[in-house]
Amino acid sequence: MSGTPWFLVRKHLRVHWVRTTLTVTIVSVALLLFCILTTFVTSLTAAVDQAASNRIVVQSAVSLFVELPLDYHGKIANVPGVESVCKLQWFGGYYQDEKNSFAQFAIDDEVFLQQYENDLEIIDAPPGDGSLLDRVRTAMRADRRAAIVGEGLADKHGWKIGDPVPLTGKIFPKSDGSAWDFTVVGIYIPKRMNVDDQTMYFRFDYLEETLTQEQDQPIGCGTFFVHVAPGHAIDEVIANIDALFVNGPQKTLTSTEAAFSAGFVSMFGNLPLFFGTIGGAIVFAVLFSVVNTMLLAARQRIREAGVMKALGFTNRTVATLMLVESVSICVIGGLVGTGLAWVLSEGIRGVVSVMFPTFAVAPQTMLISLGMSLTIGLLAGLAPTVMLARLKPVEALRSEG
Amino acid sequence: MGLPIGYSARNLTVRRSSTALTAIGIALTVGVFTGVVALYQGFVDLYRPRGSESAGIYLRPGASSEGESGVTREQANIIIKGADEIAKNANGEPLAAAEVYLAVYMNKLSGGRTNVPLRGVQRMSLELHASGNLDLLEGQWPTWGANEVVVGAGITGRIENCRVGDTIRLNLTDFKVVGMFEHDGMYRGEIWGDAENMMTALERPVFQRIIAECKPGTDFETLGATYRDNKQTPLKFISEREYLSSQTTMLGPTLLYLAGGLIVIMGTAAILGAIITMLATVTARTHEIGVLLAIGFPRGSVFRAFLMESCSSDCSVGFSA
């Protein structure tokens, strides 16, 4: 007799449909959870992993919330190896309602667009000649209130090129209580994960000029983003910048973009570890449920295995069928769970976009998830498979199971 | 006629490997479920109302937290010396203080940098925060006008340079740690020093908030509207309780949905796990059940025996998990 009767796998799965459904469900739920938890962690660390290698960030050594004097800009630019310097100041405003809070940064528009050429791509700009990027560059130069926004943010609020966007400043309120006026002149999508599509960038000089009229305090800037020229050692440039301000007025803390982003990740504390532990515990618990189920399935078919062996099917064939059954249950569960995570990803991102703007299930995560479902299937099927393979036909036929 | 308890008990020991597998499966399930409940409790705790209802907080209009706020020296003077709603202590001094707040970078003992809240306080702050069982555990309170700080008990074992006798450097100024204090609320995770010295050291010319004990019967809502429209001292005025709950609602929807989703999914996984395990156990013994019924045991007593077996194994495992 040749060939393996694969249809038996299908039959078994169908006969014990309650068990099959339950097992597929639990595997899929576990892997859905695994994918989502992993994605929370990876979306946090993506900005670290995908940081630009030639970009360094200068900030106050005292606190992220302390502004550096504006004359630092020129001093940093004069450090050997510094190619360009871009001011970047957190604005902290909201659109219409405080619930619509998102990230806004005041930036030096020309330098910014050049520094971020490889990080974001302009997908919409005012009509005119030249590339989208050129048109945005011109439009930003022309209008003091110009701003570019991420696609996700634009979609959320229905903003289009030319639309006015009034923002109320929480850190920089206008003295008369009115909103700051911005005009959308560009929409971008991230090319790398160190940028998200929920952010607005606008001209620093608009902030500076308005604040100069509003208040008598000197205006500062929270961070300077510096590009290091090729051929210069990053560590050296970092050390030289910090050495410049070691005696004040504000000591600086310069680090690579990756280290700067890692600082934000660490603000989430033990969240990655916590998520990892939950995910691990659940996958482990599910593994045991599936092992139990497969042992049961094997016990129930001792007699059937005996019959098959008596008919001349090899030990290998009988055992393979068992293993295939276990693996297919788990892989189906894995596909369902992973697919569900992929489908839900967009919806989850909508809910958590304030804290996790780059939330998206990565292909690697899905691959790992499917790999895990396969592993669970193999591990769970191992003991029953060995048991059925070793079974003597006579004993099996005598069994009452 | 009932099945003897010994039947259930012996079953557990006779089917050792099956019992063990079931036990581990259930233990993990219970463990996960315990995690769910702990998570839920944590959230309930996070959203529990905190802070005094009679304490008022004055911030810059539009600011939603201390970090975003700024209150000038003039405003602070006007409010603390002149505001009617502020209660007085036994000596007739207004129970109000202007405070500086800044999250500063400090190194964790376990390595890496973190943000530690730094609060510049005034003499009256100690009296105002006394309601949260403010207690000096070690050393002394900072001398007013000196570059000295006290650290909250919550950070002493976590952050570098936070033991009594250590020195904390803020930009270019050294502050001596002269004491350690305990507090029921969030202040136990902060560093406190004289507000004036902090403002000088950090070159920050404004306070972040005024906190005051208000007279009984203060109408926070009406007064809040008055302050908002006030030309001379436009401020946001809310009760401490409302301020603290607004801090959690800011995190609110995201964390709430996140935790809710996690709890539902984890709970589902846990329950499914238990169902599958028990189903496997029972199905494996249909034959045995048949024998018991054939001998003449009534259905009810067989059912009870199995229920007892599953409950006793699950409970004992549950406790150990």
Q: What is the value of pTM for the model shown?
A: 0.76
Question: Does the distance separating the beta carbons of B170 and A62 come in below 8 Å?
Answer: yes
| Position B211 in a domain | yes
* A380 CB-side CA count, 13 A: 32
| Position B177 in a domain | yes
pLDDT band at B207 (very low <50, low <70, confident <90, very high): very high
Q: Quick one: B270 and B209 in the same domain?
A: no
Q: Quick one: B65 and B31 in the same domain?
A: no
Asked whether residue B43 carries a pLDDT value surpassing 80, the answer given is: no
For B124-166, the pLDDT digits (tens) are: 898 888 887 888 899 899 999 999 999 999 898 889 888 899 9
Q: Quick one: B24 and B63 in the same domain?
A: no
Which of these ranges, A164-173, A244-253, B37-46, B189-198, has the smallest mean pLDDT? B37-46
Q: Which residues in chain B (59-88) have CB-CB distances under 8 A to chain A? A: 60-64, 67-68
Question: Does the distance separating the beta carbons of A168 and B62 come in below 8 Å?
Answer: yes
| Residue carrying the six token digits 């994605």 | A39
A282 neighbourhood in chain B, CB within 8 Å: 32, 266, 269
| Position B220 in a domain | no
Nearest by CB to A285, from B113, B273, B275: name it: B273
Q: What is the mean pLDDT of residues B70-96?
A: 86
A171 neighbourhood in chain B, CB within 8 Å: 63, 68
Element (H, E) at A289: helix A271-300
Question: Does the distance separating the beta carbons of B60 and A169 come in below 8 Å?
Answer: no
For A174-188, the pLDDT digits (tens) are: 877 788 999 999 999
- How many beta-carbon contacts under 8 Å exist across A and B? 154
| Position B125 in a domain | yes
Q: What is the mean pLDDT of chain A?
A: 86
Cα–Cα distance for residue pair B47/A114, rounded to 1 Å:
45
Q: Quick one: B42 and B94 in the same domain?
A: no
Q: Are B118 and B111 in contact, with CB atoms under 8 Å apart? A: no
- Any CB–CB contact under 8 A between B111 and chain A? no
- Any CB–CB contact under 8 A between B28 and chain A? yes
Q: Quick one: B141 and B286 in the same domain?
A: no
pLDDT for position A370? 94
pLDDT band at B313 (very low <50, low <70, confident <90, very high): low
Q: Which two tokens stand for residue A107?
A: 């930036």
Amino acid, res. B303: F
| Position B126 in a domain | yes
Question: Does the distance separating the beta carbons of A289 and B21 come in below 8 Å?
Answer: no
Which of these ranges, A293-302, B201-210, B223-232, B266-275, has the smallest mean pLDDT? B266-275
Q: Which two tokens stand for residue B53?
A: 């209802």
Q: How many domains does chain B have?
A: 2
Cα–Cα distance for residue pair B74/A387, rounded to 1 Å:
84
CA distance A205 to chain B (A): 21
Angle CA B192–B136–B92, to nearest 5: 75
Element (H, E) at A163: none
B105 neighbourhood in chain A, CB within 8 Å: 61-64, 253
pLDDT band at A105 (very low <50, low <70, confident <90, very high): very high
Q: Quick one: B209 and B68 in the same domain?
A: yes
- Any CB–CB contact under 8 A between B229 and chain A? no
Nearest by CB to A288, from B21, B257, B262: name it: B21
pLDDT for position A172? 85
Asked whether residue A30 carries a pLDDT value surpassing 50, the answer given is: yes
Task: Give the contacts of B51 (CB within 8 A, at least 6 positions apart).
Answer: B185, B239, B240, B241, B243, B244, B245
A212-215, Cβ contacts within 8 angstroms, sequence gap of 24 or more: A214/A174, A214/A175, A215/A175
Alpha carbon separation from A209 to A70, A213, A218 (Å, rounded): 13, 7, 12
Share of chain B above pLDDT 70, in %: 84
Q: Are B150 and B192 in contact, with CB atoms under 8 Å apart? A: yes
pLDDT for position A341? 92
pLDDT for position A187? 92
Cα–Cα distance for residue pair B130/B124, rounded to 1 Å:
10
User: Which among A294, A324, A293, A295 has a CA at the least distance from the CA of A5?
Assistant: A324
For A186-237, the pLDDT digits (tens) are: 999 988 888 888 899 999 999 888 888 877 777 889 999 999 888 888 888 8
Residues paired with residue B159 on neighbouring β-strands, in sequence order:
B108
Cα–Cα distance for residue pair A286/A380, rounded to 1 Å:
10
| Position B239 in a domain | no
Q: Which residues in chain B (178-217) have CB-CB distances under 8 A to chain A? A: 202-206
Other residues' Cβ atoms within 10 Å of the Cβ of residue B159: 22
pLDDT band at A1 (very low <50, low <70, confident <90, very high): very low
Q: Quick one: B206 and B309 in the same domain?
A: no
Q: Quick one: B150 and B256 in the same domain?
A: no
Nearest by CB to B203, from A19, A32, A249: name it: A249
Strands (E), B3-72: 55-59
Q: Quick one: B63 and B23 in the same domain?
A: no
Question: Does the distance separating the beta carbons of A263 and B265 come in below 8 Å?
Answer: no
Q: Are A279 and A372 in contact, with CB atoms under 8 Å apart? A: no
| Position B240 in a domain | no
Q: Quick one: B104 and B160 in the same domain?
A: yes
For A297-344, the pLDDT digits (tens) are: 888 788 888 888 888 888 888 888 889 999 999 999 999 999 999 998
pLDDT for position B316? 65
Asked whether residue A44 carries a pLDDT value surpassing 60, the answer given is: yes
Question: Does the distance separating the beta carbons of A250 and B35 come in below 8 Å?
Answer: no
| Position B268 in a domain | yes
Domain boundary residue, one of B193, B215, B237: B215
Q: Quick one: B310 and B188 in the same domain?
A: no
For B6-23, the pLDDT digits (tens) are: 777 777 676 666 667 667
pLDDT for position A286? 81
CA dihedral A219→A223→A228→A233, nearest 10 degrees, is: 120
Domain boundary residue, one of B190, B215, B240: B215
Q: Quick one: B284 and B160 in the same domain?
A: no
B183 in helix, strand or coil? coil
CA distance B291 to chain A (A): 12
pLDDT for position A375? 92
For A258-301, the pLDDT digits (tens) are: 888 888 777 777 777 877 877 787 788 788 888 888 887 888 78
User: Which among A397, A63, A387 has a CA at the least distance from the CA of A220?
Assistant: A63
- Domain span at residue B287 reads 5-46+252-320
Which of these ranges, A88-92, A128-132, A331-335, has the smallest mean pLDDT? A128-132
pLDDT for position A37? 87
Q: What is the mean pLDDT of chain B?
A: 81
Domain boundary residue, one of B188, B215, B242: B215
What pairing do the DSSP bridges indicate for beta strands A103-107 and A164-169?
unpaired
Nearest by CB to B284, from A61, A170, A299: name it: A299
- Any CB–CB contact under 8 A between B291 and chain A? no
For B211-222, the pLDDT digits (tens) are: 988 888 888 888
pLDDT for position A330? 93
Q: Which of A15, A296, A376, A379 to mutate to test the interface with B (most CBs of B within 10 A)?
A: A296
